[in-house]
Structure 1
Amino acid sequence: MSTPLHLALAVDTPSTAADIDALERTVTAAERAGVAFVTIADSPGAPRVEAGVLASFLARRTTRIGLAPTLHVSTTEPFHLATQLASLDHATLGRAAWVVGATRDAAALATVGRGPLGPEELRRETADVIDVARRLWDSWEDDAVIRDVATGRFLDRDRVHHVDFEGAGFSVAGPLITPRPPQGQVVVVGSDTLGVTGRLDIALVGGEDVEEIRRRAARARQHGARLAFADLAGPADLARLAGVVDGVRLRIDDLDAGLPPVELAPIGPTLRETLGLPRPANRYAIARTA
């Protein structure tokens, strides 16, 4: 028996109403086919609907598939990024993920008044944004909302925390303006070339052949990524990758032609459950009770 794979589908950001309708049809078809999650590309500054907004649009038009918009750390304010993703997780009842974008495009950076970023500056900012997002998702403990009618208290303020994060280029006090996401932490996805592999739940690895993919997947796991997905430009013999990687992200223009033959892992009620990732304990609850 072959080892089941998780399958992700990469789609572009549409630019017209007709393209948005086509995107909805593609994502719902992917859901019926058993795809674990769909990643939505984003081009800051382009005349298109932003990927996070599209994910929100798809949240109530789907029921099982995970939704992973690309949000760029270099053009998105960190607090707003964390809030948008937490809100998506609430809207999908636990199916949100985040593809970490780190654009260095000068035109995109100019839209937020930034100049060029060096490679190390961008790597450090990427790490800082992931770190503060994870802290903000924990800033409300799971039982912070108490809705105590007798005392008129909606939440227990002792279970809502300032994160007081100081990064190299920004600071965030917190807490988040939404309760903790249903998954505890939104699933974080990113390329193994970002330089932050240990901060990722899923590392996307490329390669010219199976052996290169195997080496990069093993290295990503050694560096701390929980899962490794092969990132492929088109249809491939997925059976050869079973047991090599945990999943595959594909770009398929025509789902009507069917998915490549492979045994897919079952879909769970949340994306973390689908992927076999545990729901993380809240760091502030642990510190408070230690």
Structure 2
Amino acid sequence: MSTQPTKNEPRGRGLLLLELDGAGSHPSAWRFSRTAPASVLTPEHLRGTVLAAESAGFHAATFSDPGLPEALPGQPDQPGQRPDTAARLNALQRAAFAGPVTRSLALIPEVDTVYTEPFHVSTQLASLDYVSGGRAGWLVASSTSAADAAAVGRDTVRGNGLGREAADSIEVSRGLWDSWEDDAVIRDVATGRYLDVDKLHYIDVDNGNYSVKGPSIIPRPLQGQLPVLAPAGLLSPEAVAAGAADALLVSAPAPELLAAELAETRAGLAAGGSEPALIAELDVVLDSRGQAAADRLAGLDSHAVWQSPRARFVGTAAELTELLTEVLAWADGVRLHPAVLDTDIEELSQRVLPELRRRGLLAANTPDATFRDQLGLARPASRYAAGASAATSAAGQEN
């Protein structure tokens, strides 16, 4: 299969996403970071990293809930010890903190769909949308952790059950976001009415995993519906075709296979009648300050081996620029996972993003644009609004 698009195939949207977790994506990142380990957990560090990402020209930041890391200095290197995460705020809280600090950076926390009730997920994400001025997204996760299951008194979910749980959670959350019409809040001082109760709706969902009546306890998000990102392969083709996800995260065993994997994924989606955006996943280790990327990775791996399901690039900024040029011909965006955040973001901001922008491959960074704007998605009307209901009815009659 050719890895280059034909002239008639549209290019992607040119979005670059950056994973911001701790000192970096490599489990030994804290050992090589210029930031003291204890400072990595502070609000000042988080503020600095999101501002650095925005200043560099990234379009979005993602926040993953961390797994079990290597122990910090002075702590036992035994499984189960979590000295640097015991007090860490979760992804959604970190994204909420970053909301008022930034203006153009979309904020996308990873939120579990298996052991977290969608009623709470939907309201927290709606709040994030308000805090960020409409720049929130949702990175869908499906935990396989026995500890997570035990914490809520459930059996561990495995296999196809993960995708079903995720699809059902998304369905409930989307319904709750629509349960308030856009003009439900009227603030009528003369009559003393804050809400028009006729514009609040019971969603009445019972999909096997969840039974929810609604309505939500918070007004409809600023974007109407937050963009939902999910790993490719998590949701069933039927759920994707029904619009469960607005973007899919796509990886490959090696960087040189990414373009082909994206092309194959896009072809499969088109055959199924859906067109979510495709975001390529890529781990990154770059040459930095005279040290070769391979030597940097060897030093990191000497303490803890980086086990990741994503494609991994190890090399120079110029080589990464060429790879991203090829990948962005197929993908709507790329999410980069720097091995050591402060080291690699310096190379990315000084040598990679400026060249990609010079080549015209990156979307513009527009202050106060919504995440839906970045993805080219129109703001949808509530499914319960009179106009939306009429349009849905008419579409059904035409079919």
TM over 0.5: yes
**Aligned pair partner of 2:48 in 7, 10, 25:** 25
Q: Deviations over 1:166-201 (max 9, x none)?
A: 121221111111111111101101111202434111
Task: Please say which structure displays the higher CA radius of gyration.
Answer: 2
Aligned to 1:270: 370
Aligned to 2:316: none
1:232 pairs with 2:282? yes
Give 1:4 shift.
5.5
Q: 1:205 to 1:79 in 2, by over 3 A?
A: same
1:258 pairs with 2:280? no
Structure-1-length-normalised TM-score: 0.92
Contact 2:14 2:333 in 1 (8 A): yes
Give 1:241 shift.
1.5
Aligned to 1:245: 331
Q: Deviations over 1:187-241 (max 9, x none)?
A: 1011112024341111111123121232123334554242111111125321012
CA–CA separation in structure 1 for the residues paired with 2:147 and 2:38: 22
Q: Secondary structure of 1:75's match?
A: coil
CA–CA separation in structure 1 for the residues paired with 2:195 and 2:271: 40
Q: Secondary structure of 1:7's match?
A: strand
Aligned to 2:245: 200
1:35 pairs with 2:75? no
Q: Secondary structure of 1:69's match?
A: strand
Q: Secondary structure of 1:233's match?
A: strand
Q: Secondary structure of 2:157's match?
A: coil
**Aligned pair partner of 1:173 in 210, 213, 230:** 213
Q: Secondary structure of 1:251's match?
A: strand
Give 1:275 shift.
1.9
1:279 pairs with 2:288? no
Q: 1:109 to 1:272 in 2, by over 3 A?
A: same
CA–CA separation in structure 1 for the residues paired with 2:264 and 2:175: 32
Q: Secondary structure of 1:231's match?
A: strand
Aligned to 1:146: 186
Structure-2-length-normalised TM-score: 0.68
CA–CA separation in structure 1 for the residues paired with 2:22 and 2:121: 18
CA–CA separation in structure 1 for the residues paired with 2:181 and 2:124: 18
Q: 1:18 corresponds to which letter in structure 2?
A: V
Give 1:118 shift.
2.8
Q: Secondary structure of 1:174's match?
A: coil
Q: 1:265 corresponds to which letter in structure 2?
A: A
Contact 2:163 2:234 in 1 (8 A): yes
Q: Deviations over 1:65-89 (max 9, x none)?
A: 0110000011211100000000000
CA–CA separation in structure 1 for the residues paired with 2:326 and 2:210: 44
1:158 pairs with 2:208? no
CA–CA separation in structure 1 for the residues paired with 2:248 and 2:208: 24
Aligned to 1:76: 116
Q: Deviations over 1:126-158 (max 9, x none)?
A: 110000111111111111111111111111111
The answer to which of 173-182 and 203-212 deviates more is 203-212
CA–CA separation in structure 2 for the residues paired with 1:142 and 1:172: 21
Give 1:29 shift.
1.0
CA–CA separation in structure 1 for the residues paired with 2:191 and 2:270: 49
CA–CA separation in structure 2 for the residues paired with 1:168 and 1:52: 27
The answer to which of 266-275 and 80-89 deviates more is 266-275
Contact 1:13 1:50 in 2 (8 A): no
CA–CA separation in structure 1 for the residues paired with 2:209 and 2:12: 44
Q: 1:201 corresponds to which letter in structure 2?
A: D
Q: 2:329 corresponds to which letter in structure 1?
A: G
CA–CA separation in structure 2 for the residues paired with 1:233 and 1:275: 22
Q: 1:13 to 1:217 in 2, by over 3 A?
A: farther
Contact 1:97 1:186 in 2 (8 A): yes
Q: 1:226 corresponds to which letter in structure 2?
A: P
Give 1:36 shift.
1.3
Q: 2:379 corresponds to which letter in structure 1?
A: R
Q: 2:20 corresponds to which letter in structure 1?
A: V
**Aligned pair partner of 1:130 in 170, 173, 197:** 170
Contact 1:221 1:228 in 2 (8 A): no
1:10 pairs with 2:96? no
CA–CA separation in structure 2 for the residues paired with 1:226 and 1:120: 21
Aligned to 1:214: 263
Q: Deviations over 1:79-136 (max 9, x none)?
A: 0000000000011110000000001111222222222213222221111000011111
* Matched positions, count: 289
CA–CA separation in structure 2 for the residues paired with 1:249 and 1:221: 22
Contact 1:94 1:271 in 2 (8 A): yes
Contact 2:13 2:375 in 1 (8 A): no
